[in-house]
Structure 1
């Protein structure tokens, strides 16, 4: 299982896609722009266990803002959305007002359509992400990908019913390991965030869920088999929510 992967951006995307379809029960391919969604769906689509969703990555909003209307139209025909969200880091501060407009519009559209499952980027912007979600009741389900906020923000998000997708690279830092210990175990699913995520200089692949389970087992002080089972149960529940929204 992989609930957040940029499968189309691996250097050998077709080959990696073929392997993921064979090895994984489910892979969620999040796209970075409406145009990318259209192209990726055409080239890599057609597999029952591969979900490709429309998105507009906050890091690209400054150059792809004009695609917002296309994204809102694509959401009408999808049960899930991603990657979307906010990035409050210094590098992207200049586009933050536009990011807010895009994310507000996306969450509002999801609420109008009866709810969607969203894979959300929230780097240094957790409070604003949660505020926007809270302001649109009925938006659906939020899956906070590679969460890097504070322990207090994690508790707030958890209390709001947010899900969390986590991969091996999240354990590269001490803060990442500390947050992993506090994740709500019944709403955690595996991700890779490949090809961007790396562990020991190696690109994380879409079939890394067992590696994630091993790291979570250490964080939660539980047997690996128990964590694997928990992730499988969570994953099937989330897949059911995605299908219901579609």
Structure 2
């Protein structure tokens, strides 16, 4: 069985999240378990520390910054123990616009801390804020100090090209490919910068949240969008993940997913 890749999933938001991690192990699903607040990270890290296929990412979700921005100090305290960072970024949608300036301040500090530490891999949220996010990445996170995965990217085509120029990867989910614009954006991205994700439990099928194993549902649509054979896609995505994980990680205490 070829390995699968779920580069962005909120495992700890499922009621059976610990057994779900075992499901990832049993089915060979390389899963980046993003968190929404720093307080959630220690338990995630403890549960996943012994896993081969699952890693916990240290997050401070932009949609929660308005209420949880004071946890940034806690996030900074944990950073040395995590190679993976997410979900972080900026959300300029109507519901969260009132906290936009606070979000930008928090994201700036996150990028600067990652740049100082070096060797981090970030899963970044950029709803209605792609230009803001890309400006901040360019200013505060040099290419040789951190790697960025643009999660569920919904920016313009020119913003997508700019993200590619900045060295970003893109994690694509089923919902993204349901729109013509999403499929067009995917075709702009070099094949070797693509990863797959579920963004479960937020993305659902027939009212049921997708699980990491369900990332395989995405393969036919993604293969069609980028004109490759569906049975070749898992190996291609696995190679992309391996290349990303081979990116330098100078922090000796940061555990790494062993590439496929």
Q: Fold-level match, TM-score > 0.5? A: yes
Distance 1:195 1:244 in 2: 33
1:195 aligns with 2:204: no
Query: For 2:170, which of 152, 156, 164 is the aligned residue?
Result: 164
- Alignment coverage as a number of residue pairs: 246
Query: For 2:227, which of 205, 211, 221 is the aligned residue?
Result: 221
- 1:64 aligned partner: 68
Distance 2:182 2:229 in 1: 20
Query: For 1:23, which of 27, 30, 33 is the aligned residue?
Result: 27
Query: For 1:98, which of 96, 102, 112 is the aligned residue?
Result: 102
Q: Sort the Cα spacing of 1:244 and 1:3 in 2 relative to 1 into closer, same or farther, 3 A.
A: farther
Query: For 2:190, which of 184, 192, 214 is the aligned residue?
Result: 184
1:176-211 Cα shifts (integer Å, max 9, x gaps)? 222222222111111111011123433211013322
Q: Partner of 1:147: helix, strand, or coil?
A: coil
- Runs (4+) of structure 1 moved beyond 4 Å? 242-245
Q: Sort the Cα spacing of 1:201 and 1:179 in 2 relative to 1 into closer, same or farther, 3 A.
A: farther
Distance 2:139 2:249 in 1: 24
Distance 2:198 2:164 in 1: 21
- 2:257 aligned partner: none
Query: For 1:148, which of 146, 151, 154 is the aligned residue?
Result: 154
User: Unaligned 5+ residue runs, structure 1?
Assistant: none
> Over the residues paired in the alignment, what is the CA RMSD in angstroms?
1.7
Query: For 1:208, which of 209, 214, 234 is the aligned residue?
Result: 214
Distance 1:45 1:193 in 2: 21
Q: Sort the Cα spacing of 1:173 and 1:98 in 2 relative to 1 into closer, same or farther, 3 A.
A: same
User: Unaligned 5+ residue runs, structure 2?
Assistant: 255-260
Contact 2:119 2:248 in 1 (8 A): no
Query: For 1:121, which of 118, 122, 125 is the aligned residue?
Result: 125
Distance 1:72 1:202 in 2: 35
1:80 aligns with 2:84: yes
Query: For 2:238, which of 206, 211, 232 is the aligned residue?
Result: 232
CA apart distance, 1:146: 0.6
Comparing 204-213 with 5-14, greater Cα deviation is found at: 204-213
Q: Partner of 1:148: helix, strand, or coil?
A: coil
Q: Partner of 2:170: helix, strand, or coil?
A: strand
Distance 2:72 2:241 in 1: 30
CA apart distance, 1:44: 4.8
TM-score (norm 2): 0.89
Contact 1:79 1:242 in 2 (8 A): no
Distance 2:245 2:207 in 1: 31
